[in-house]
Amino acid sequence: MAMISAPELPGFSRFWTVSDVNTYLKTLMESDSNLQDLWVEGEISNLSRPASGHLYFTLKDQNSSLRCVMWKNRAVALGTLMQEGAAVEAHGNLNVYEQRGQYQLYIDFLRPRGEGKLFQEYQRLKAQLEGEGLFDPERKKTLPAWPTRIGIVTSATGAAFQDMKDTLKRRYPLVKILLAPASVQGENAPPEIVAALNLLYDLKPDLILIGRGGGSIEDLWAFNDERVARAIFESPIPVISGVGHETDFTISDFVADLRAPTPTAAAELAVPDQGELRTGIAEYESRISRSIQGIFSEQRWKLENLTGQITRLSPLGEINSGRQRLDELSSRLERAGAGYLKGAREKCNSFQARLSALNPESILKRGYAMLTTDDGSTVYQVGQVSSGEHLQVRVSDGEFEVNVK
């Protein structure tokens, strides 16, 4: 890992600002490839779903917790997976949210915990068989250039068999197909696949294709079974493995003499194309294909290198931090508004109570009376009235007249 120098600071170089520290730590994390490609498992807690659609939560285990962020474009397809207490496996990169000085995991993929256990078993068996030499290129058999009899191990009712059969007949109509049917999923699949392989070994076709369509790691698990792997390794006949989709890799793929990305591709690799045979351009096409593949590999490496540079220079990190900062400011604004309304309401209630206490009507209800003369003047001193004068007396529930004596 390249050495990173401290940022050049203004003023006294002995002192760092808080922003300098956070920026420096952010740079350190971004330059560490281990922290940019992490798998973390734990339980979801403190899940927050603001109106922006981004997700903020914590992954925790028995001893620690880790703050996590998942942006809206990644979170929309999670469904019921995002629940408090859900056990998950998260992939992403670790970075610093500079405004708050906290490090957090920015997640781009989330799956239920358990798929990772199968993957660990897959890795364990792969390492074991590789150590025993089952994957060695030196032991792989050469495929026949012109096979006339091809055995297929797959489900008789699956789409994979129909695709392989149609592809073989389209490319090389003279080939004869021998189907050894077997389950390709479930507990009974591994022994059935082994039995089908042994049947074809006795029938001695020129080539064997083994495969099935795509699915989850559980669906493809029969092709990661040790019994199936060893049966393929012991085959006296060349075997092409075409399991799942292009991105799926099984133990069977590594043991087989050739791995195809799909069942259809396995059939295409098994036989030459009749059109190519007629025109005699097969060798030229192979040379061009290898040349293009080399160019693609070189350009892909350059593209990945440039993509990495763009990622490091991209303002996306600042934008994402701004997104989170906006969510925080929105929450603070809501709390401040609620506090202001509460204070205003309390002041209003206080003023109403004071006005009520000063209201003359309230005074009258406490037993006091208001005296007025005939001309409407309020009497508040004895000297304002004389003997025999008529006065109006107002009390809480009405008025009446009195004479002064």
Q: What's the average model confidence in pLDDT over 199-227?
A: 92
Give the model's pLDDT for residue 4.
43
Spatial distance between the Cα atoms of 118 and 273, rounded to a whole number of angstroms: 39
Parallel/antiparallel/unpaired status of strands 102-112 and 87-97? antiparallel
Spatial distance between the Cα atoms of 369 and 371, rounded to a whole number of angstroms: 7
Confidence of residue 66 (pLDDT cuts 50, 70, 90): very high
Confidence of residue 228 (pLDDT cuts 50, 70, 90): very high
Give the model's pLDDT for residue 116.
59
Alpha-carbon torsion, ordered 203, 209, 210, 216, to 10 deg: -170
Whether residue 293 is predicted with pLDDT greater than 90 in this model: the reply is no
Whether residue 241 is predicted with pLDDT greater than 90 in this model: the reply is yes
Residues 6+ apart with CB under 8 A from 306: none
182 DSSP 8-state letter: -
pLDDT tens digits along 340-358: 888 888 888 888 888 777 7
- Top mean pLDDT of 29-33, 187-191, 336-340, 369-373 is at 187-191
* Contact call for residues 177 and 168 (beta carbons, < 8 A): yes
Spatial distance between the Cα atoms of 304 and 310, rounded to a whole number of angstroms: 10
Confidence of residue 155 (pLDDT cuts 50, 70, 90): very high
DSSP bridge pairs for 393: 371, 400
Whether residue 28 is predicted with pLDDT greater than 70 in this model: the reply is yes
pLDDT tens digits along 89-136: 889 999 999 888 899 999 998 887 765 567 778 889 999 999 999 999
Backbone angles phi, psi at 144, to 5 degrees: -70, 140
Kindly report the number of other CB atoms within 10 A of residue 255's CB atom.
26
Residues 6+ apart with CB under 8 A from 286: none
Give the model's pLDDT for residue 115.
58
Give the model's pLDDT for residue 344.
87
